[in-house]
Structure 1
Amino acid sequence: MPRFAPRLLSLPRRFALVAVIIGVSATSPRRLAAQPSPKVARAVRVSRAPKIDGRLDDAAWTPIPAVEDFVQRQPLEGQPATEGTQVYLAYDDDAIYVGARMRRVNPRDIERAVTRRDGAGTAERFTITFDPQMDRRTGVGFSVSVAGVRSDYRHTRDADGDGRESQFDPVWSAAAHEDATGWTAEMRIPLSQLRFPKVAKQRWGLQLERWMPDKNEVVQWAMISPRETGFISRFGTLEGLDDLTTTRPVELVPYVAGDATRRATSVANNPLDRPFAGRMGLDAKMAVGSSLTLDATVNPDFGQVEADPAEVNLSAFETFFDERRPFFTEGSEMVRGPVSGYFYPRRIGAPPRGTASGDFVDIPRASTILGAAKLTGRLPSRLSIGAVAAVTSDEQARVHISDSSLTRSVAVEPRAAYGVLRLQQEIGKQASTVGVAFTTVQRQFSNAPSLASLLARESYYAGADWRLRFQQGKYAITGFVAATHVAGDTASIRRLQLANTRLYQRPDRRNAMYDPLKTSLSGYSAQLRADKDAGRHILWGAEVKVESPGYEVNDLGRLQSTDDVEYNADIQIRETVPGRILQNWRLGFDTRGAWNFEGAHQLNTWAQTTNLTFKNFWSANVRNQIELPTIDDALTRGGPYMGTPKRFRQELRLSNQSGARTGWRVNGAWGTDEFGAWRRDAAAQLTLRPSPRVSVSAEPTFQSGVDPRQYVTSIAGGTRTYATRYIFAFIDRTTISTKLRANYAFSPNLSLEAYAEPFVASGHFSRVGELSAPRSRVLREYGTDGTTMTTDSVGTRTITDGTQSFTIGNRDFNILSFRSNMVMRWEWTPGSTFFLVWQQNRRTAEAFGDPARASDLFRTTRASGDNFLAVKVSYWLPVRLGGRR
């Protein structure tokens, strides 16, 4: 029996909460209420296409019947819409045409914000969503605001919100116009941008929706209750699309780009300076049959992508940032699937991991992606496919030694090939799914033999997952099993064993796992979860997850720690029917726990959450959490177990309605522990729209606190802790930053966006000491217990313990950072874009440790750093292959 098994036997007591959940939910009806008959709309073929000017006065619309039976989804679910909406649907051999009239009793109340494409913001808008495959799971949405701003979405699963992908950018047109009765809109959606089956008589899923932000009113044609699961599966039906014909063009988007860089380290005689650079590349998109889409890119450029926020990471683990590159975000849901972590696309084209030194060094900022391809879509058999393949170049740093006047190349990243395949089959009438996923990374070290000790030669992941739905999605059982294998040089596998992810070298491990001669590493992970996702009042979930010590996905995925057996359970009690004061409310309780494979209890938290939405759509969220004492195998970063204290944390968040012309949000959090730690966090966001074309926002944050157990280093010695001293200190930290944004939309196709983040952080170390004994929570503070400690003028500490003396360098810090990004974006012709980009990255580090102050934010603009100016022009070129089908 595994050592953690006795601990797992106590899980029934831990899951007493789940018993309460099931008991309470059992009192609810066993079947969902009968669903109303699906709605049906008809499109009419027209002989002459209407002019798309937004006025809805073209004769082509005259014989088309209006769709106008809309009801509220919010604020009063199921009630008639307060304003009239009529929609007209037409088509010809080339496109689908949508006309809509949105009536308003008081047109002056209409919100008219102008933004760039996909940023409709607070403007009133109309959205049409199609399910062309009629698979009741996937769909594409097209939206236009009263200001004529277009937005488009792809739904890769049966969900709105988190199932919506906004990086879907088809080529289509729309226009809007205001009049005395409200506003009108027209759309032209080319059939070439849609994927539908080859049948004479089409039947598509259809949803029509209108949002009026001044009223916080959402009206839908096929109303979907907030208490129900699913989105696409609850659509109405669109009929009348007969004998559709279309060409499937290959869409080519070549680009040319140039940039100029002015570096802070630039000097007049730097022989490696290359202030100007140019490049070109190509993106391509084509249909594969009627259901799949193939995207390809050669030498892609992402210079317009916003920089990551600044941070000071004192933890043992990597920070993961969101993916923003369009090629990897579009269709990502079909590639990633429901299992988190196995695919983190930022591994492809990441900064080189190797280092180089010399008088002058030029290291590439990112690995060059020579080419990449992606296949996504869903077959009529209900099989979803997502696949990505990419090849990155080996990267060389240029190094110049002044004395020899020679410039040489140093390998900093090997050539690599990446592959991801994700298949998911929908089964049964409940839309349950089963899926598999595979990933691989292959590196070639022929041009970079020195890097074989740093990176694995090959990496593999294979997994299977399932989501079994019951009672129309009211209940679900989900889970996965996965295995990994990594192989390479003994030095690279040794790095993986010693990494903070698994820490095989821990001296108090009961099972010796570290083997310096290993050339491979294998592991597994599994999860099982049960949920109640729908119902009037009670929702719940419970989960168990296991990650073996050898599990490893960081070559193409993301993983912080392994050697875990985790559980969590939650219950939520909610009311979605508006009351006298509240629009809706939710009360939740959750618990989490974790052990490692040796049975050490490492996490035990309990929390309560309250979410309130008031009648004016202001919201308040409160969370209270307690974490009970356990022991931790990672705090000493390769040393023995260390005890953790009891911790308390409270959080509060307040915000006004999302559609308000002036939006605001405030967050606060505070926490303490029994060792004397404390933390205070505060954040706010204010968004102002002084005119329909202008939006400005500020998001200040403040974090301050003391941590009495900040890891510092480990030094030989310490007879009580396996001949090594594991040294910690009190750290007094302060972080202050402000994210500033300003957007000006000249038109929906031409915009200027500016982003800036001044950031300051400080840290002062004091009360240095070492772990007194394995599994202890107590530090042996230097300067007591027979030890002495002196500090010199530069902050270096000298500690004497008996006959041994050692030093610890000054770890205090003050960081000043300023990052900014200004982008002019012009869609100068459909599908073709011009970008002008200016980026700054300034940073200065000082070893003072003085508390950071808000006034220091103004000093960040004077920090040294780089300036980057880039220009990029792309052109959309549809190439027709063959005739119509």
Structure 2
Amino acid sequence: MGKPFSLILLFFAIISTFDSYGQRKNLQAKSISENISIDGKLNEAIWNTAPVATDFLMLEPDNGRPISPNKKTDVRILYNNDAIYVAAILYDDEPQKILKELTQRDNFGTADHFGIFINGFNDGQQDFRFFVSSSGVQMDCLATEGGEDYSWDAIWDSEVSITEYGWVVEMKIPYAALRFSNDEKQTWGLNFYREIKRDRQKYTWNLIDMKIGAALPQTGQLEGIENIKPPTRLFFIPYSSFYVENNKEGTDNKFKAGMDIKYGINDSFTLDAILVPDFGQTKYDNVVLNLGPFEQQFNENRPFFTEGTDLFNKGNLLYSRRIGGSPSTYLYSSDENVIASNPSTVNLINAIKISGRTSSGLGIGVLNAVTEKTYGTLRNTQTNETNRVVVEPLTNYNILVLDQRFNQNSSVALVNTNVTRNGEFRDANVSALVYDLNTKNNKFNLTGDFKYSYINEYGDNDNLNGINTAIQIGKKGGKWRYNTGATYVSKEYDANDLGITFINNFHSGYVNLGYRILNPNSVFNTFKINTNYYAEFQNTTGRLQKGEINIDFTSTSIKNDYYAISVYISPLETYDFYEARVNERFVNLPKNVYSSFYFSSNYNRKFALDLNPYFTVTSEENRVSYGLKIAPRYRFSDKLLMNYMIEAYNQNSDRGWVAFDGDAIIFAERDRRTLTNELGLKYSMNPKMTLNLAARHYWSYAENNQYLTLQNDGSLTSNSTFTVNKNSNFSTWNFDLSYSWWFAPGSQISVLYRNNATDSRTEIDRRLGNNFKNLFNNNLNNILSISVRYFIDYNSIKNKF
């Protein structure tokens, strides 16, 4: 460890002499005692006495160019003991052309926007960002260098008005929506943002230099706020939900009630808890026909597990769908007279998380969740007797993160995940050291991690200990960017109890080189080209698992249409150690070339189109695949938007595992066809009331042309003795019609009608109408649900008690 660590220190000692950030602008906030009416009109005379932030500079596409005089932007800030107040006058010489689509909260849509970025600790680590559109829709997020988290929602007020000279924004942001110290005199990191949608131009008050790899430290400063105290941050969000479900089994009614609690432990740390959770109205999963060796990975749609989880994602050890997901064991019977019934999910009893960051930059995060004991059922078809068997015991999930940030742009983190199952079941523990080190100007970067997993299989003396480590070094600022890295994962590494790991037992290396323009030219607003060289080897045999040369080109034209071309070349035969489903067995994969083209027209137009053809050719005769995705969208008005997507994907002479026949591993040469249709409609009555429709039909089948036997050398030979029908014909349907009304700050009524159906069989019928008939005939499930959530701020009710 000594020599590599010394080289790392030498690297940063040499390049730490590069220039730092540019000059930071300053704005003085003005203290007030009078009331401010949030109406978007700026009628109060006090606004005229406040200092002005102006002289905005372009963020994109022509980074650094001053805003034109006819788009001048002036911003003022006032404050009292409860909140800060923001007034922005956004001049526009053509106010009739201001785009102002109505959307749901946190959806930017096709509209102009104004935003304020606040960092109460002025440490360049995390922004609280508040946006409002020209139609009055609010967006807010927590922002780190890892991205923006729009699942975070604060309670704040805003109003806008369109004027003859542009538009006006007025905002009130309570201190309860922010984080800052107890200091008598406050100095906050501050930036303002303006987007002129019809020109696809974005501006900030303090310049964010795109040549620098980090944006958050490039802020101005807000001064002048004195003698304020962080309020008690205690919020209760009780809810109640009612469900009516109808299917071929009959009709069932269900009532649920519970509460979310948010408590500010101090000025930096927050506790979130859910008591008796209800996720019945979360978005449906886009299930597919999965014939591969790995599970399908789904997006997390539950708000508790998406909001404010930046800390918990350190090291990529958390796949939160494990919590309340499928049971860890699967019930089956070798007796043909016994039918096994397995639950698809496990109920979540409760969950809490505590997260925050100290004034010294130490981030601390704790997430804990408990799921209930869950049973599967065995039923004897002859005696009709049933027997319940535990498939998942009472289980505790825990993740702890300690993340020390320094120099405003670097961090070292320790992460631990633990899953403890009651009784004679498997337990798991994974720990990680994660580092992200950047030079002062953010142009050069060193990242990496070391992960260690320990699996305790009950009754098994051979418990597993595995490691996973990676390192990357490179340049991430300027026109030319490059990096190189390597990864090693041992055979025993397993993070799947609370994370998700598809492959292990390999080592890999890569080199990446890219070029981009930082300012528009006569042809492109943006232009990037990137090439990557990647090689991955299986540890035990040293065989090449993956070897690719990738070239990616992306650009935006001067008319703001987006183009992308990708070419991935695998020039050597490789070996797949997972498709066979048997340890150390592999199948040979042919040389291949994948290519795709993507076009997305400017969404400012009423009619826009996304187009994506793609194909793969291989060195094996007739083994090709090709697909086409077409997604038109039409904006009928500022209130009504329609999206549609159709995708067809064909795979000819695909080869994959289908069964075991004694000791033989049976593959099939098969033709696969997939057709996906999706429809979305959005009708926004006003900024707080929206009607949404989402529908998806997915149909995929795999028809086996011949069976093959896998040989020890990875080749496949013809098999004429295996005759079991292993065809797959899978269809699924999802339909959601929802109404959402934010009837008070943080309070919502939502009504959802949902129906869904799934059909899986071995008979192949290529007629779309017949597949629809089979899908809807016997198994359509209908759900009507009504949910009410009400936001209660302790500060607003404490005097009443």
User: In which range does the TM-score fall when normalised by the shorter chain?
Assistant: over 0.9
Question: 1:706 aligns to what?
Answer: 652
Q: Write the distance in 2 (CA, Å) between the matches of 1:814 and 1:852.
A: 12
Greater CA drift, 702-711 or 207-216:
702-711
Question: 1:775 aligns to what?
Answer: 713
Aligned with 2:46: secondary structure?
A: helix
Q: Tell me how far 1:688 sits from its aligned partner.
A: 1.6
Deviations 1:802-859 (A, max 9, x none): xxxxx43112232222112222111111111112112222122232334465996697
Q: Is the 8 A contact 2:127 2:142 kept in 1?
A: yes
Given the alignment of the two structures, is residue 369 of structure 1 paired with residue 307 of structure 2, yes or no? no
Q: Write the distance in 2 (CA, Å) between the matches of 1:277 and 1:364.
A: 18
Question: 1:345 aligns to what?
Answer: 320
Residues 731 and 400 of structure 1: is their aligned pair in 2 closer, same or farther, counting only changes over 3 Å?
A: closer
Q: Tell me how far 1:263 sits from its aligned partner.
A: 2.4
Given the alignment of the two structures, is residue 168 of structure 1 paired with residue 112 of structure 2, yes or no? no
Letter in 1 for 2:712: P
Q: Write the distance in 2 (CA, Å) between the matches of 1:171 and 1:699.
A: 35
Question: 1:873 aligns to what?
Answer: 788
Given the alignment of the two structures, is residue 531 of structure 1 paired with residue 474 of structure 2, yes or no? yes
Greater CA drift, 405-414 or 124-133:
405-414
Given the alignment of the two structures, is residue 425 of structure 1 paired with residue 404 of structure 2, yes or no? yes
Residues 294 and 776 of structure 1: is their aligned pair in 2 closer, same or farther, counting only changes over 3 Å?
A: closer
The unaligned stretches of length 5 or more in structure 1 are 1-21, 23-28, 268-273, 446-451, 491-516, 717-723, 783-788, 790-798, 800-806
Q: Is the 8 A contact 1:648 1:671 kept in 2?
A: yes
Q: 1:218 aligns with which of 192, 195, 202?
A: 202
Letter in 2 for 1:657: N
Given the alignment of the two structures, is residue 671 of structure 1 paired with residue 650 of structure 2, yes or no? no
Q: Write the distance in 1 (CA, Å) between the matches of 2:338 and 2:93.
A: 72
Deviations 1:637-679 (A, max 9, x none): 2163332211111111111235444332111110111123100
Deviations 1:850-878 (A, max 9, x none): 44659966975556321122111111112
Residues 407 and 850 of structure 1: is their aligned pair in 2 closer, same or farther, counting only changes over 3 Å?
A: closer
Deviations 1:299-321 (A, max 9, x none): 11111210101200000101111
Aligned with 1:473: secondary structure?
A: coil
Question: 2:558 aligns to what?
Answer: 615
Q: Tell me how far 1:731 sits from its aligned partner.
A: 0.9
Letter in 2 for 1:347: R
Question: 2:637 aligns to what?
Answer: 691
Residues 870 and 410 of structure 1: is their aligned pair in 2 closer, same or farther, counting only changes over 3 Å?
A: farther
Q: Write the distance in 1 (CA, Å) between the matches of 2:654 and 2:130.
A: 53
Counterpart mapping for 1:727-876 below 5 A: 727-771=666-710, 773-777=711-715, 779-782=716-719, 789=720, 799=721, 807-851=722-766, 864-876=779-791
Q: Tell me how far 1:726 sits from its aligned partner.
A: 2.2
Q: Tell me how far 1:288 sits from its aligned partner.
A: 1.4
Q: Is the 8 A contact 2:126 2:216 kept in 1?
A: yes
Letter in 2 for 1:90: L
Aligned with 1:318: secondary structure?
A: coil
Q: Is the 8 A contact 1:741 1:756 kept in 2?
A: yes
Counterpart mapping for 1:649-668 below 5 A: 649-668=594-613
Given the alignment of the two structures, is residue 465 of structure 1 paired with residue 449 of structure 2, yes or no? no
Question: 2:580 aligns to what?
Answer: 636
Q: Write the distance in 2 (CA, Å) between the matches of 1:314 and 1:565.
A: 26
Q: Is the 8 A contact 2:58 2:201 kept in 1?
A: yes
Q: Write the distance in 2 (CA, Å) between the matches of 1:36 and 1:611.
A: 29
Counterpart mapping for 1:407-426 below 5 A: 409-426=388-405
Residues 179 and 413 of structure 1: is their aligned pair in 2 closer, same or farther, counting only changes over 3 Å?
A: same
Question: 1:379 aligns to what?
Answer: 358
Q: Write the distance in 1 (CA, Å) between the matches of 2:381 and 2:701.
A: 36
Residues 861 and 121 of structure 1: is their aligned pair in 2 closer, same or farther, counting only changes over 3 Å?
A: farther
Letter in 2 for 1:623: S
Residues 707 and 397 of structure 1: is their aligned pair in 2 closer, same or farther, counting only changes over 3 Å?
A: same
Question: 1:204 aligns to what?
Answer: 188
Question: 2:4 aligns to what?
Answer: none
Q: Tell me how far 1:351 sits from its aligned partner.
A: 3.5
Residues 733 and 754 of structure 1: is their aligned pair in 2 closer, same or farther, counting only changes over 3 Å?
A: same
Letter in 1 for 2:352: A
Given the alignment of the two structures, is residue 149 of structure 1 paired with residue 137 of structure 2, yes or no? yes
Residues 858 and 242 of structure 1: is their aligned pair in 2 closer, same or farther, counting only changes over 3 Å?
A: farther
Q: Tell me how far 1:394 sits from its aligned partner.
A: 0.9
Given the alignment of the two structures, is residue 475 of structure 1 paired with residue 449 of structure 2, yes or no? no
- Superposed CA RMSD in Å reads 2.5
Q: Tell me how far 1:763 sits from its aligned partner.
A: 1.3
Letter in 1 for 2:62: L
Letter in 1 for 2:259: L
Q: Is the 8 A contact 2:552 2:564 kept in 1?
A: yes
Q: Write the distance in 2 (CA, Å) between the matches of 1:707 and 1:320.
A: 26
Q: Is the 8 A contact 2:212 2:441 kept in 1?
A: no
Deviations 1:232-271 (A, max 9, x none): 200000111111134214101111112111123x16xxxx
The unaligned stretches of length 5 or more in structure 2 are 1-10
Question: 1:587 aligns to what?
Answer: 529
Counterpart mapping for 1:67-82 below 5 A: 67-82=53-68
Q: Write the distance in 1 (CA, Å) between the matches of 2:325 and 2:221.
A: 45
Aligned with 1:554: secondary structure?
A: coil
Deviations 1:95-125 (A, max 9, x none): 1111111111111111111112111311111
Q: Write the distance in 2 (CA, Å) between the matches of 1:34 and 1:552.
A: 41
Q: Write the distance in 2 (CA, Å) between the matches of 1:776 and 1:292.
A: 55
Aligned with 1:62: secondary structure?
A: helix
Aligned with 2:295: secondary structure?
A: coil
Aligned with 1:234: secondary structure?
A: coil
Q: Tell me how far 1:363 sits from its aligned partner.
A: 6.5
Q: Write the distance in 1 (CA, Å) between the matches of 2:750 and 2:379.
A: 34
Q: Write the distance in 2 (CA, Å) between the matches of 1:335 and 1:323.
A: 14
Q: Tell me how far 1:430 sits from its aligned partner.
A: 6.1
Q: Is the 8 A contact 1:38 1:222 kept in 2?
A: yes
Q: Write the distance in 2 (CA, Å) between the matches of 1:51 and 1:697.
A: 38
Q: Write the distance in 2 (CA, Å) between the matches of 1:481 and 1:182.
A: 53
Counterpart mapping for 1:233-632 below 5 A: 233-264=217-248, 266=249, 275-337=252-314, 339-340=315-316, 342-352=317-327, 353-355=329-331, 366-396=345-375, 409-427=388-406, 429=407, 431-445=409-423, 452=424, 456=426, 458-490=427-459, 517-535=460-478, 537-598=479-540, 599-627=542-570, 628-632=572-576
Q: TM-score, normalised by structure 2?
A: 0.92
Residues 519 and 415 of structure 1: is their aligned pair in 2 closer, same or farther, counting only changes over 3 Å?
A: farther
Question: 1:126 aligns to what?
Answer: 114
Question: 2:5 aligns to what?
Answer: none
Q: Tell me how far 1:404 sits from its aligned partner.
A: 7.2
Q: Is the 8 A contact 1:260 1:275 kept in 2?
A: yes
Q: Is the 8 A contact 1:668 1:682 kept in 2?
A: yes
